[in-house]
Amino acid sequence: MDLPTHGHAPVLPDAVLRFLQPQAGETALDCTVGRGGHAALIAQAMGTGTMIVLDADPTNLTYAQARIKAAAPKVELKCFHANFGEVSDVLAAAGVGKVNMLLADFGVSTNQLLEPGKGLSFQRDEALDMRLDPRIKKSAADLVNGLAERPLADLLFNLAQERLSFRIAREILHARARQPIRTTGELADIIRRVNPPRHGQIDPCTRTFQALRMAVNGELDVLQELLVSVPALMAPNGRAVFISFHSGEDRLVKQAQRAWAHADACEILTRKPLEAEALELAENPRARSAKLRAVTFASTPGAVASYPFSEEVQDEP
């Protein structure tokens, strides 16, 4: 798979603009700017105003900064190296109290998956790292070589629904008893011994690598921190869009939005998550698992319960 022109193609761009409704002079917050695809479109649509962007990956943040400035030179741009769980601190540092638009796209950028050095791909043999933020202390190798069998199996099942989680965890422990597992190739070989590749099915390494990436980067933890913060960040009539690529992420967003609506803090604009249509999927196959949910906040929002949100969530019919 070749890299897109900017290293990543933003998913559902038309829907993002439709729900955010950028207006001149407003303040927008992109909590996961990546390569700047969505943010550049939003800034262009605003023309003037303030764009605040953050990302845990400083390389992507630097790239996005230049791209957004080129796309919308009249928009004031403020960039921060931070994860989206730190969004309240980011706004305080930016000197901004409330935002009119908030976007959070929880997907990993294509360049992070395909470029060497991150250790996210099982398609090449390199150091088993997976840290997207250099501030993170423990790598995937630390987890693979340090966790006991049951916690490792639980991690694979809970974060990626890996049905062979216990068999894979047991094989990892057998392998690391001989020598530490240091590379993506070594881990991929272990997984494929348990679950050999089958024609027409996803690679058996996919779920284990996804689970380890999510664990290393604390993705569900920082998502929960973001969702707790969102209502207090939004200006009256503010719009927020969330794009998930994992059922656990989408479930947390759904629970939060229903709790906000129950408190009369927002109106849910997407009763069912919006997904990419055939034309976009043909151009960007990675959009196939994207689910977009959107809300608009009230002019006088009510109090919102803190996380964990207690309202029972039923699957959409």
Rounded CA-CA distance 230/248 in Å is 18
Q: Are 59 and 34 in contact (CB under 8 A)?
A: no
pLDDT over threshold 90, residue 279: no
Assess whether pLDDT exceeds 50 at residue 28.
yes
Q: Are residues 274 and 141 in the same domain?
A: no
- Give the per-residue pLDDT at 259: 94
Residues 107 and 234 reside in one and the same domain: yes
Residues 170 and 239 in one domain: no
Instruction: State residue 2's pLDDT score.
Output: 55
pLDDT surpassing 90 at residue 207: yes
DSSP secondary structure of 6-62:
TS-PPSSHHHHHHHH---TT-EEEETT-TTSHHHHHHHHHH-SEEEEEEES-HHHHH
pLDDT band at 223 (very low <50, low <70, confident <90, very high): very high
pLDDT beyond 70 at 83 = yes
pLDDT the model gives residue 314? 46
**Average pLDDT for 187-213:** 93
Is residue 303 over pLDDT 80? Answer: no
Neighbours of 202 (CB within 10 A): 9
247-251: long-range contacts, CB 8 A cutoff, minimum separation 24: 247/161, 248/158, 248/159, 248/220, 249/106, 249/219, 249/220, 249/223, 250/291, 250/293, 251/313
Range of the domain at 177: 137-216
CATH number for the domain spanning 162: value is 1.10.150.170
What is the rounded average pLDDT for all residues in the chain?
Answer: 90
Q: Are residues 43 and 27 in the same domain?
A: yes
Burial of 170 (0-12, 13-18, 19+ CB in 10 A): middle
pLDDT of res. 313 = 45
Query: DSSP for 102-167?
Result: EEEE-PPPHHHHHSTTS---SSS--B----SSTT----HHHHHHHS-HHHHHHHHHHHH--TTHHH
Encode pLDDT of 11-20 as tens digits: 999 999 999 9
> Last residue of some domain: 157, 187, 216?
216
User: Is residue 317 one of the residues assigned to a domain?
Assistant: no
Q: Residues 284-313: what's their mean pLDDT?
A: 72
Residues 261/264/265/271 CA torsion (nearest 10 deg): 20
Count the Cβ atoms, other than its own, within 10 Å of residue 130.
Answer: 25
What tens digit of pLDDT does each residue of 267-276 get?
A: 999 999 999 8
User: Residue for token digits 């207690």?
Assistant: 310
DSSP 284: -
Last residue of a domain, which of 191, 216, 241? 216
- pLDDT given at position 304: 59
